[in-house]
Every structure is written in structure tokens, then in C-alpha cells.
Chains A and B, each alone.
Chain A
Amino acid sequence: MNSVATERVSLQPSGLKARQQRIEVVIKFVLAVIAASGVLITTGVVLALVRPTIDFFQLVGFKDFFLSTEWFPLYEPPDYGVWPLVIGTFTVMLIAVIIAVPGGLAVAFFLSEYASPKVKRYLKPLLEILAGVPTVVFGFFALNFIAPNVAQKIWVFSEVGFYSALAAGITVGLMILPMMTTLAEDAMAAVPRALVDGAYALGATKREACTGVILQAGLSGIIAAGVIAMSRAIGETTIVLLAAGSTANFSFDPGVPMQTMSSFIGFAGLGDQPTGSTGYMTIFAVGSMLFVITFGLNVFSRRIVTRFREVYE
């Protein structure tokens, strides 16, 4: 009778392999913890802001904060009306956006439809370099060049001082321009080439292809880019701190010094605020506002893209 040797065959790992697989479980766990650190930081940010903000409002009260127009929180006696900061932020942001958004869009059109490969080869690295320049260098540029040569020269409606929201706004705008260009260019590149070809095939000029088809076809991406630019302008600290002075003027005149939410936080942080003091708490209260606004804008911009993104098969 034939008997085939019936050895027990097992597909289970043994010895070295088994150990390796156990180690792997550990490694996986460790890595997961590390990955969770990302989540921890956001939680940290929120936590850091919530408690002192609550304390602040308990001390100062919503009424003073939101209704008064004097912001002198570090003086004696202190004033806590936040409006000068809001207007300052808005003014700087508006000037910056007026420069950066149309400018970025224009350069993006240029790169998309007009520029020859040779020009592109030099222009794109240049923009990348500009995008990589630290904000403090732009701050120096604002004080040394923009303020005397640009801000004071071009603003005809009022006297522009040494420190002004105008100089800061212009410089922030110039700083954001490369970023806006890149984002707008990405939005334009997402427009299918067939669509643009269709416009040219009808005898349209490059301008007509840009304004009549590309702009409309890539609109959601372009708007999202603009919103991100706004958010970036709102959050800019160093340039404003250097170029716009440290007086929280309640004014609509961009030629005067102004303080923004971010630059106030920087300013307050420069002087040493003892923990728990009201000055310390104002940092957190204003910081909360800043966080909420920029967070809201970023979420908004992402919503625009996902909701209204033109879907091209």
C-alpha cells in the first residue's frame, strides 16, 4: 500500500518571521502615535486660545471689546475697543489684495497664454525666489524703499507719514503676488485645453480666450486663490509691525500708522507681559479673533473649490 508521507505543513510564520511581525505591530502603533501629533497640534492651538479668551472676556466684557473704538490695552488706564485693529487689518488687507489679486491673475494669464517658453524659463524661477524671501526682508523693503519712494509718492489724497498702512499694504501685496500667481496658474491649468482650443478655433484673440473662456472656466479655483490671498494678508505680522507703526489709529486714511490684529499681537509680545495680566490676555483674545477669521476664510475657500468646481470629464 502506498503511503505518501504526510508531513504537517504549516503556513504560519515561525521563529524569525514571527518576531519580525510582532515588531511590525509595535512599529505601526508608534507611527500612528506620531501621526496623531498633527491632530494634537491643532487641538493645542484651539486650547491655547480658548481659556485665556474666556478669562479676558470675563474681565473686560463683550461690550467694551466690540463697541468701543479706542484700543489702548497696554496703557493705564487701558481701553479695549477692538475696532481700530479690525479697521487696520481690513485696510492693510484691502490694499494688499488690490495689488496681489489682479496682479497675480495678470501674471498667471501671461504665463498661461502669452509667454514664450524662453520667457517662462526665466520668469517662473524669479517668482519662486520672490516667494521664498522672508517677511522680515520685505519689512525692511517696506521701510527703506516702498515708504519713501512709492507710498508717499503715489497717494495724493492725504499726507503719508513715515509709518503708514499704505506702505505696509503695498508691501504685503507684493509679497503675496507670487503665491497668488501660482494658485491662479494652477486653476487655469485645470481648464481642459480643448475648451481653450475651441475658443481659438472660432477666431478669438488671446485676450478673448483669457477673459471669455479661461476666466469663467477656472473661476472657482481663481476665487479660492483670492480668498487664500486675503487670509494670508490678514495674518501677516512682521511687515506690518515694521512699516505700519504701532499706533492703533481708528481711521480710514491709509496714510496714517495703523495696527492690525497680527501686528498688535507681535507688539504686545515684544514687551514682556506677565502671565495672567490683562495685557497677556489681550494677546489671546485678539489671537482668537485672528484664528477664527483666517480659519473661516480657509474653510470657505476649500468649500468653494469642492462645491463649485467645474467638473470636466
Chain B
Amino acid sequence: MVEDMNKVMDSRVSSAAPSSDTVRGVSLRTDNLEAGSSGLPAQEMIMEARDLQVHYGEYLAVRNVNLQIHRNEITALIGPSGCGKSTIIRCFNRMNDLIPSAKIGGTVLYRGIDLYGPEANAGEVRRRIGMVFQKPNPFPKSIYDNVAFGPRVNGKPSKSETDELVERSLKRAALWEEVKDRLKQSAFSLSGGQQQRLCIARALAVDPDVLLMDEPCSALDPIATGRIEDLMHEIKGQYPIVIVTHNMQQAARVSDRTAFFNTEVDADATRPTGVLVEYDATRKIFSTPSDPRTEQYITGRMG
């Protein structure tokens, strides 16, 4: 029953959903839809964090995180350094499992399934929830083999299937035209911005449900950054995106919702802990934030 309602909402939403012709930022069409309280068109919620917190050994790195990720949206996590944004995003695809001292508290749900519960397999989670990292990290392989790596480990595609997948992924990442004649060259022969789009193509090659991006543009020049922001808009209809960014303006340009993080020093702690301060539609965060700390950060008085 709920599934049906969601499907109905989906179809209504997708017909009115912001797609590539949308103006950057938040869609203002609230007329015939059940609007969310934030003035955004209602979208299906895919992922949810409830009371999420992370310890590294004894140190509480971040706490009290309550977030929802919706389809067709870009959600930005912003805040000063060290407030746990990267830590949180890595919880969404269980990458923190790789750090022995990391302990997750609270829940992360995907379509209602606990990511850390018995019903979720880590490899499957990571395939379905993809990630692009801060510094481009292509494998020491050819461009082709980089993109093909994911499909190859997750299945046994034939040569023609792989060719098709590689082309499709590179096209989706807006890189195909630039590399189609040199697929066999090393990935390191690409510029920084191209490498990052390669990493995006690589992540898209396994057809994930969600794309996580941890400061994807921080190592890139403004032009490359702009291209990736354009790319994000193009693909957000198919791949909901969660992006961590240091750059407030980028968050304002790109995202539909924004979560602002900050650090607090708890009573008995020696190091500051990250907390989620405010989470709302982007235009609200950047125009009339509810929390004074948010306002301070936005107006540049801190961070």
C-alpha cells in the first residue's frame, strides 16, 4: 500500500520534478504537490540516519545526526573542518568498517533496511551506494580498465557488454568525448578534473542507487569544479547525490537540501565533537536559518 502510494507520488513528482532544465538551486513549484514543509516538492525518502554517531576508539567524533536523503535531490553536508561531515558520509556506505577503531552508534536505513544489520551485506551496500573521493584516485590502469573494474568484480560481463558499459558510464560522466580515442592509455595521463570525472564514471559503472561525494572538487581548479557541478545537476534525477563540501557557495549553487555541521566541546571530552546543527532546504538555510550558529557560519563569522 505504501509502495503504491510512493509509486504514485513518484510519477507525479517525476513529471514535475526538477530535471536538467531546472534553474540551479531549489525548485519553486509547490502548486499542485504536497509540498514538504521546506517548500521543496515531496520526494521519496531513500536513506535515513537516526541518532547517528561515530566513535574512533574513545573519541566521540560526531553525534546526534538525523538526516534524510531523498530521490532526485542533492543533499549537501557543510561546516567547518573537523566536524565529522566526512565521517558521516562514510557511514552511508559502510566505509568506516575499514577503520578498526571506528564504532557506529544509532542507525542508518536504506529503504527501511538497517545498513549495519544482519540483512545488509557490506559489498552489496557499497555497490549500491557509490562514492567519489576528495582527491581523484584512479587505479594505475588504463582509462578503460578503471571504469570496467567495478562491473568486472561484480559480474562477468562479456567484452561487448563491458565496452558498452564503459562508453555509457563515460558519457554519463561527460568524459566520453575527451577520451574515446585513448581508452587504453593510463588514467594518469588525464588532468585532475578529468581524473575526477573518470572516478565518477567508474562509480556510475556499477549503476549505484545513490552517489556519495566527499569534497569532490576540493583538489580541482574552478573550471573543472564548474564542470563537475554541471554534471551533478545532469545526473541527480537518476542518482540522488550526497555531497560533503567545504565550499558554502558550492552548496548553495548545487544542493536542494543542506545539513550544517559544527563542533562542540562536550563536558567531559578532550577534543571537540561534531554535531548536526540544522538540516533544511537549501534556500532556507542560506536565507533564513533557524539556528544562530548556522547564520554565523553562513555570514562568515566563523568556520
Which residues of A approach B to under 8 Å, CB–CB?
Answer: 116-117, 192, 194-195, 197-205, 208, 212-213, 216-217, 310
The answer on a CB contact under 8 Å between B139 and A216 is: yes
Which residues B153-205 have CB closer than 8 A to chain A? Answer: 153-154, 199, 202-203
Instruction: Indicate if B123 sits at the interface (CB-CB under 8 A).
Output: yes
Nearest CB of B to A236, in Å: 34
* Chain A residues whose CB sits within 8 angstroms of the CB of B131 once the complex forms: 201
Known: A194-B135, A216-B141. A201 touches B93 (CB 8 A): yes
Nearest CB of A to B75, in Å: 18
Known: A117-B100, A201-B130. A216 touches B203 (CB 8 A): no
- Can you spell out 10 A-B residue pairs with CB atoms less than 8 angstroms apart? A192-B137, A198-B133, A199-B139, A201-B95, A201-B130, A202-B149, A203-B150, A203-B153, A205-B153, A217-B140
Which residues of B approach A to under 8 Å, CB–CB?
Answer: 93, 95, 98, 100, 123-124, 126-127, 130-131, 133, 135, 137-141, 149-150, 153-154, 199, 202-203, 206
* Chain B residues whose CB sits within 8 angstroms of the CB of A202 once the complex forms: 126-127, 130, 149-150, 153-154, 202-203, 206
* Chain A residues whose CB sits within 8 angstroms of the CB of B123 once the complex forms: 203-205
Q: How far is the CA of A274 from the CA of B181 in the complex (A)?
A: 72
Cross-chain contact of B149 among A117, A192, A199, A310 (Cβ < 8 A): A199
* Chain A residues whose CB sits within 8 angstroms of the CB of B135 once the complex forms: 194
The chain B residue sitting closest to A312, CB to CB, is B140
* Chain A residues whose CB sits within 8 angstroms of the CB of B127 once the complex forms: 202-203
Cross-chain contact of B95 among A116, A192, A197 (Cβ < 8 A): A197
* Chain B residues whose CB sits within 8 angstroms of the CB of A203 once the complex forms: 123-124, 126-127, 150, 153-154, 206
* Chain A residues whose CB sits within 8 angstroms of the CB of B95 once the complex forms: 197, 200-201
The answer on a CB contact under 8 Å between A194 and B126 is: no
Q: How far is the CA of A250 from the CA of B182 in the complex (A)?
A: 53
* Chain B residues whose CB sits within 8 angstroms of the CB of A205 once the complex forms: 123, 153
The chain A residue sitting closest to B128, CB to CB, is A203
The answer on a CB contact under 8 Å between B206 and A198 is: no
The answer on a CB contact under 8 Å between A116 and B100 is: yes
